[in-house]
Structure 1
């Protein structure tokens, strides 16, 4: 199941989000990790520091779920390098 209901989302701990203060981009499974990476640059209202911390979380959780992350930094997302 990839879609989270509001109730399921509310039950997630803060540390299960890429952006925990804002509770944005859940990271509870491989599909959500991929979605968080794909939507990363669309997240509004966060600082570059928040993005740095979120990217670290995404990379850590991606490894746990077997999701390949080629980019070393979130700044590389969407680039062809």
Structure 2
């Protein structure tokens, strides 16, 4: 996704909307958001909880299997 495309996304299309980090626009981006989840800095645990819920919703939408039930299970 180009920077221009990313700039056109709504905040709600990101796992971390305030930071506009980890877009959730397709299955590949959902998997990437999970892989990079712990690399996002400067967010609270409650923001991580909200981001994880967004990722779970996007995973269901794009048929991505998540083995983790909670972001705290990520290594």
Q: Which runs of 4+ in 1 moved over 3 A?
A: none
Structure 1 residue 13: Cα displacement: 0.5
Q: How many residues are aligned here?
A: 75
Residue 25 of structure 1 pairs with residue 15 of structure 2: no
Structure 2 unaligned segments of length 5 or more: list them. none
Please identify the structure whose Cα radius of gyration is greater.
Answer: 1
Aligned Cα root-mean-square deviation (Å)? 0.5
SS in 2 for 1:39: helix
Could you list the per-position Cα deviations for residues 12-44 of structure 1 after superposition, in whole angstroms to 9, with x for gaps in the alignment?
Answer: 011100000110000000000000000000111
Structure 1 unaligned segments of length 5 or more: list them. none
Instruction: Give 2:40's match in structure 1, choosing from 40, 43, 48.
Output: 43
Taking structure 1 as the reference length, the TM-score comes to 0.90
Instruction: Give 1:53's match in structure 2, choosing from 41, 50, 53.
Output: 50
Structure 1 residue 72: Cα displacement: 1.0
Matching residue of 2:62:
65
SS in 1 for 2:49: helix
